[in-house]
Copies of this chain bind each other. A is one copy, B any other.
Amino acid sequence: MNKKEFVKAFAPATVANVCCGFDVLGFALEQPGDEVWALKTHEPGIVISAIEGITGLSADPEENVIGVVAQKMLTDLQVEHGLELQLHKGMPVGSGLGSSAASSAAAAFAVNEVLGQPFTTAELVTYAMEGERKASGSAHADNVAPSLLGGFVLVRDYEPLDLVPLGVPAALYCTIVYPQIELKTSLARSILKKEIPLKKSIRQWGNLAALMAGLLRADYGLIGRSLHDEIFEPERSVLIPLFKQAKEAALSSGALGCGISGSGPSIFALSASEETAEQVKVAFEKVYAESGIALKTYVSQVPEQGARLVEQSILQTAQA
């Protein structure tokens, strides 16, 4: 009898930066997201046997983030068996919604389950960060941490990694519009200045500190007053067609705040009810209606939970 354990895990898209929390803050969405299937195999090594929902991604386990994440986990555990992995991409790549992070987080979660949960969630973040290192050259945590932990997560420091899960006010909904233009994270990062004016920096950390208080106290008014970014948004938003109009439309529709998701081109808006979030979606669509730009839009609660088990089973097959 071959006993193969099979696990399917989902990890959601995430919004990093959140206006005033550049490089330190992110939150999870309910959807979209990626699924990773993991099966324990007798043979050592990792095989990626299928990639669905997208074309052009490498199935080489040393090139695909799910393989990189899984390999590091197996190596650290010194297990002798191997893994067969499948990736189902349920979200767009290059959208600013943490696509590589969702794959990495789903892989870390699935592999941990199939191995019998040897790792803590915090440890899974460090493994998923290896996927980010592969994807972008930098092991950022501001997408993988909320994708794994859910809600809002603050990354206080990296050495050592110090994550502060913040939870989420119950009525907080997010609207995403993804104008399907190509925008490389590396380009969006390259236009950032290395020095920033002290005055703007002070305003930024005042807003971020207030956003923390707003989130922890479910003070929606304070959340709204704090969602500003005078440092990065002016530089980055010029790369996103109709950004200014989309932001104005979101705020006019009752959103608490609106900004660039990660390094874009997706735009996020936070609202204090699902109804408002749906109105913001309509407003976003109207802004882009005659632009000729293909769109994806999402309305999602900001969930308490991040990555989760979708399916698991113990497969028994006849002995060869």
Chain A interface (Cβ < 8 Å from any Cβ of B): 20-25, 154-157, 162, 164, 166, 192-199, 201-213, 216-217, 222, 225-226
Contact = CB atoms under 8 A, between A and B. Distances in A.
A300 B196 CA distance: 37
Contacts of A207: 156-157
A209 B199 CA distance: 18
Copies in the complex: 2
Contacts of A203: 157
Nearest to A160: B225
Contacts of A211: 209
A25 B202 contact: no
B192 A226 contact: no
A13 to B, nearest CB: 22
A209 B206 contact: no
B198 A198 contact: no
A210 B197 CA distance: 22
B201 A24 contact: no
Nearest to A216: B216
Nearest to A212: B212
Nearest to A22: B202
Contact of A206 (B156, B198, B216): B156
A162 B206 CA distance: 10
A204 B209 CA distance: 11
The 8 A-B residue pairs with the shortest CB-CB distance in the complex, in nearest-first order: A212-B212, A156-B210, A205-B205, A24-B206, A195-B195, A216-B216, A201-B201, A23-B202
A79 B208 CA distance: 41
Given A196-B196, A196-B198, A208-B205, A213 B162 contact: no
A162 B213 CA distance: 13
Contacts of A216: 212-213, 216-217
